[in-house]
Structure 1
Amino acid sequence: MHKTTLSIAIALAGLSMGANADESREHGFIEDSHATLSSRTMYYGDDNHDGGVDQSEAATALKLDYLSGFTQGSIGFGLDISTLVALHLDGGKGHHPDSNSFFPSDSDGSADHSWGRGGAIFKTRFSKTELRVGNTFTPNLPILVATDSRLVSQNFEGGMLTSKEIDGLTLIAGKLDQSSGRATSNPTGLAVAGGSKGSNDFRFAGGDWKVTKDLMVQYYRANLENYYTQNYLGLAHVFPLGEEQSFKTDLRYFDSRSEGKNGETGYRFNNNGGYAKTPGEVDNKTWNAMFTYTFGGHGFVLGHQSVSGNGGFVWLNQGNVVNGSNRAEGNGGTAFYLFTDAIVGSFSRAGEETNFGQYSYDFSKLVVSGLKASVSYLKGDNIKDVRGGNDHSEWERDVRVDYVVQTGPLKGFGTTLRHGAYRGDNSAVPSQDQTRLIFNYTYALF
Structure 2
Amino acid sequence: MKKQKRSIALSILLFSGFMATAAASHADEADADASTRHTEAPPASPPHTEADAPVSSQAKSNGLIEDSHFNLLLRSYTEHDDLKGSGKKDASVLGAQAVFESGYTKGLIGLGGDVSLFGAFKLNGGEGAGNRVHLGTDGGGSGQLAWAYPGVWDVKARISNTVVKYGQQLFDNPFLVPHDNRSLPPTYRGFSLASDEIKGLTLKAGTVDAVLARGMTSVTGLTTEYGGTHISRFIYFGGDWTHDADTAVSLWGGIANDVWQQYYLSATQSIGDPASIRWTGALNYYYTSSIGDQRQGAITNNAYSLALSGTHGAHTVQVAYQQIVSDQTFDYMGQSAGDYLSNSLDVDYNQPHEKSLSLTYTLDMKRYGVPGFKVSLWGAYGWDADGSAMANGNSAQAAAYRINGQPIQGTHYQVGVIPSYTVPGGKLKNTSIKFYYMHHHSNSPYYPDGTSDVYRLMVNLPVNVF
Q: Which of the five TM-score ranges fits, normalised by the shorter chain? A: 0.7 to 0.9
Contact 1:98 1:109 in 2 (8 A): no
- Of 138-147 and 180-189, the range deviating more from structure 2: 138-147
Paired AA for residue 40 in structure 1? R
1:138-169 C-alpha deviation (Å, 9 max, x unpaired): 22322332111111111011011111222222
Contact 1:419 1:435 in 2 (8 A): yes
* 2:367 matches 1:365: yes
Aligned with 1:340: secondary structure?
coil
Aligned with 1:73: secondary structure?
coil
Change (3 A) 1:397 1:98: closer
Q: CA deviation at 1:83?
A: 0.9
Aligned with 2:130: secondary structure?
coil
- Residue in 1 aligned with 2:153? 120
* 2:211 matches 1:179: yes
Output the CA distance in 1 between the equivalents of 2:206 and 2:140: 40
- Residue in 1 aligned with 2:302? 285
Output the CA distance in 1 between the equivalents of 2:408 and 2:139: 42
Which of 436, 453, 458 matches 1:433? Answer: 453
Output the CA distance in 2 between the equivalents of 1:244 and 1:70: 46
- Residue in 1 aligned with 2:315? 298
Contact 1:351 1:390 in 2 (8 A): no
Higher relative contact order (CA 8 A, sep 6+): 1
Trace 1:72-83 onto structure 2 (pairs within 5 A): 72-83=106-117
- Residue in 1 aligned with 2:288? 256
* 2:268 matches 1:236: yes
Paired AA for residue 353 in structure 1? K
- Residue in 1 aligned with 2:38? none
Change (3 A) 1:335 1:217: closer
Change (3 A) 1:346 1:438: same
Output the CA distance in 1 between the equivalents of 2:267 and 2:341: 13
- Residue in 1 aligned with 2:330? 313
Which of 66, 69, 76 matches 1:41? Answer: 76
Output the CA distance in 1 between the equivalents of 2:183 and 2:78: 9
Aligned with 1:100: secondary structure?
helix
1:25-70 C-alpha deviation (Å, 9 max, x unpaired): 9722111111111110111110011x22301110101110111111
Where does structure 2 lack aligned partners over 5 or more consecutive residues? 1-59, 393-406
Q: CA deviation at 1:333?
A: 6.3
- Residue in 2 aligned with 1:420? 438
Paired AA for residue 130 in structure 2? S
Aligned with 1:302: secondary structure?
strand
Trace 1:82-231 onto structure 2 (pairs within 5 A): 82-91=116-125, 93=126, 96-97=127-128, 99-104=130-135, 110-118=142-150, 119-135=152-168, 137-193=169-225, 195=227, 198-231=230-263
Q: Percent identity?
A: 25
Q: CA deviation at 1:260?
A: 1.9
Aligned with 2:251: secondary structure?
strand
Q: CA deviation at 1:242?
A: 5.9
Contact 2:68 2:100 in 1 (8 A): yes
1:187-236 C-alpha deviation (Å, 9 max, x unpaired): 11112145555323101111112245421221111100011101111111
Change (3 A) 1:107 1:370: closer
RMSD: 2.2
- Residue in 1 aligned with 2:90? 56
Q: CA deviation at 1:100?
A: 3.0
Structure with the higher fraction of residues in helix conformation: 2
Aligned with 2:231: secondary structure?
coil
Contact 2:96 2:184 in 1 (8 A): no
- Of 280-289 and 32-41, the range deviating more from structure 2: 280-289
Output the CA distance in 2 between the equivalents of 1:429 and 1:123: 42
Output the CA distance in 2 between the equivalents of 1:156 and 1:32: 25
1:334-378 C-alpha deviation (Å, 9 max, x unpaired): 5422222212x1100010001011001111111112111110111
Residues paired across the two proteins, number: 387
Output the CA distance in 2 between the equivalents of 1:107 and 1:363: 43
Contact 1:172 1:205 in 2 (8 A): yes
Q: CA deviation at 1:253?
A: 0.9
Q: CA deviation at 1:74?
A: 0.9
Q: CA deviation at 1:392?
A: 1.1
Paired AA for residue 323 in structure 2? S
Change (3 A) 1:382 1:390: farther
Output the CA distance in 2 between the equivalents of 1:229 and 1:235: 21
Output the CA distance in 1 between the equivalents of 2:454 and 2:462: 26
Output the CA distance in 2 between the equivalents of 1:182 and 1:374: 26
Q: CA deviation at 1:408?
A: 4.8
Q: CA deviation at 1:241?
A: 3.2
Change (3 A) 1:410 1:213: closer
Output the CA distance in 1 between the equivalents of 2:72 and 2:153: 16
Output the CA distance in 1 between the equivalents of 2:61 and 2:348: 48
* 2:462 matches 1:442: yes
